[in-house]
Amino acid sequence: MTAQQEPEPQFEAESALQELVRAGLERLSAEGVARRIWERDASLWKNDRAIQQEIRERLGWLTVADTMQERLQEIESLVEAVRQDGYRYAVLLGMGGSSLCPEVLRLTFGVAPGYLDLFVLDTTDPDTIRAVEERIDPGKTLFIVASKSGETIETLSHFRYFWQRVNELGGESGAHFIAITDPGTSLERLAHDHRFRHVFANPPDIGGRYSALSFFGLVPGALIGVDVKQLLTRAQEAMNRCSASQPVADNPGLRLGAMLGSLGTHGHDKITFVLSPAIASYGYWVEQLIAESTGKEGRGLLPVEGEALGAPSVYGDDRLFVSLRLEGDDNTALDEGLARLRAAGQPLVRFQLTDRYDLGAQFFIWELATAVAGIFLQINAFDQPNVQESKDNTARLLERFRREGKLPELEPVISDGALRVYGRRMGEGEEGLDSYLQAFLGQVRPGDYIALMAYVQRSEVNESALQALRLRLRDRYRVATTLGYGPRFLHSTGQLHKGGPNNGVFIQITGDVKQDVPIPGESYTFGILKEAQALGDLFALSAHERRNIRIAIGGDLAAGLQALAQRLAPVETQGDGQPSH
């Protein structure tokens, strides 16, 4: 069967990899996986009865598109009311599963005329908080307080800050706030106590990263004018194509799951996304879905999003490329790059989207495929044990700050101008910064990945410098790279960092805060909270014996990042013109 004759998704690879996927599909068929998923048979993932009960309580995403179609009037009434009341802006206060789908929708669809402009605040960085505040009029802003658990420290800190700002204006402050949370949470109680305009009680049987098609994704989407009914309709069409009555070979969710699981357990575990420009932000959401679902028990698939395509020579043999190609978009560079990769023998999965609303189908297909990949990996695809670990570290550090008025201070191993490096001693002969950094990166091996974890403001200037740095590292060491902003990534790839295989090399980057922001009712500021989260994550990585360093940049961050790129990955070539290792 040729690639053109295959049902979606199409898979192009050498015969040995094709055979792996065929065997995976045969296994899914023989074990009745499609039927058992729709019957919510938790034994597909784990044998422990207590864990099985937890899994059954997290499978509501299978039918949430149907549920939400019945609750659209609740969303539409809220949207119409705030538009009539003259609201112009919406600020989403949420992390991870509460923030990533709304950001994808905002960047993909933009804002329809007459609807609210949406800002997604999923960081504790003070400079970012101030930047958002400068772009809105609080008197014409709806704040969306979104948290499944209702206890997310970042979200509650955001709420305290903006509640005080709105309260200073006078009037009915609660009219400026809505909440999205599970029934019975402390956030639901807080919302009622503060007389929020509305509380959306989300179906509780959905984990955060599987909640794109629930209130968490749909309410912010509707506020910016997305036709969420159409988004749900596309998801329902995908549900029908993925039903138990469909043959496994024609089921896009199971086909994709077999590709991810079969290849991921045979070395091709770096799932590298190549997306049309108009839907490039889809990678933000699917990154969390894959990393947090699969990265545990020493196993996992690494999603690689935002890594620009390079020449075939910069890639190892651990990649699986995935293309989501939007019809009518400028796909010239995408098509040319993928053609080169296929000519070099790299495996490729292709999806063709007719328009942006096909993302509704993609949300569902990738949720199902990730759950199926978890079967191959023999893990529970619906928990996130190591996310709590970093949260607990942060809580202990903040309690220490309350007692002592300061956080623990690390001792740098190297200081050089504006750069200070923290980590373990690498041995004799690494006295200078360059030699120390090269010794640290000398630990990189084929099959590893390098993760840049930046606790800095997510601005265009910083993004450009960090992307340039990651590409230099990829080209020099021929390994996959990821870029995450802290603490945002703690709710996404952070689970994989600690719970997945020990094949990550971690570089934490921090910078100076220009102007700190207080958290009403707390002795610490947002700057202190961010520092506690960075330290807590560093301590968790070390506890799991991950290779890690911290690089603090003083003064001009952009200049420091440019200097760091040269120090970490100086451009050198071999005689054949290829980057030297």
- Domain range annotation of the chain: 10-44+242-377, 64-226, 385-568
Torsion angle defined by CA atoms of residues 223, 199, 156 and 175, in that order, rounded to the nearest 10 degrees? 70
311: nearest Cα among 331, 270, 339, 340: 340
- Which pairs count as long-range contacts for 25-29, CB under 8 Å and 24+ apart, including other chains? 25/248, 25/249, 25/254, 25/255, 25/258, 27/258, 28/248, 28/254, 28/257, 28/258, 28/372, 29/247, 29/248
- Report the DSSP beta bridge partners of residue 112: none
- Which pairs count as long-range contacts for 574-581, CB under 8 Å and 24+ apart, including other chains? 578/313, 579/314, 579/475, 579/476, 579/478, 580/476, 581/476, 581/477, 581/478
pLDDT tens per residue across span 90-142: 999 999 999 999 999 999 999 999 999 999 999 999 999 999 999 999 999 99
Identical fold at 10-44+242-377 and 385-568? Answer: yes
CATH architecture classification, 10-44+242-377: 3-Layer(aba) Sandwich (3.40)
Q: Which helix (H) or strand (E) holds 234?
A: helix 228-241
pLDDT tens per residue across span 9-47: 999 999 999 999 999 999 999 999 999 999 999 999 999
Question: How is residue 435 written in tokens?
Answer: 């030699």
Which pLDDT does position 580 carry in this prediction?
44
Quick one: how far is CA 367 from the chain centroid?
Answer: 14
Which pLDDT does position 573 carry in this prediction?
43
Given a cut of 80, whether residue 429 has pLDDT beyond it is: no
Quick one: how far is CA 441 from the chain centroid?
Answer: 25
Rounded CA-CA distance 143/75 in Å is 15
pLDDT tens per residue across span 240-283: 999 999 999 999 999 999 999 999 999 999 999 999 999 999 99
State the DSSP string of 159-204.
HHHHHHHHHTT-S-GGGGEEEEE-TT-HHHHHHHHTT-SEEEE--S
Rounded CA-CA distance 476/316 in Å is 12
Which pLDDT does position 570 carry in this prediction?
77
Which pLDDT does position 7 carry in this prediction?
72
Alpha-carbon distances, residue 490 vs 421, 494, 533 (angstroms) = 22, 4, 9
Tell me if the domain spanning 385-568 has CATH number 2.40.50.40: no
Q: Which helix (H) or strand (E) holds 472?
A: helix 460-477
The one-character DSSP state at 304 is E
Q: Per the CATH hierarchy, to which homologous superfamily does domain 64-226 belong?
A: Glucose-6-phosphate isomerase like protein; domain 1 (3.40.50.10490)
- By DSSP bridging, strand 449-455 and strand 419-422 are unpaired
pLDDT tens per residue across span 521-535: 999 999 999 999 999
- Helix (H, G, I), strand (E, B), or coil: what is residue 482? strand
Given a cut of 80, whether residue 571 has pLDDT beyond it is: no
123: nearest Cα among 454, 387, 473: 454
Q: Which of 60-69, 74-83, 418-427, 489-498 has the lowest mean pLDDT?
A: 418-427
Alpha-carbon distances, residue 542 vs 356, 451, 549, 580 (angstroms) = 42, 15, 10, 29
Which pLDDT does position 6 carry in this prediction?
61
Alpha helices (H) in 265-355, listed in sequence order = 282-294, 332-343
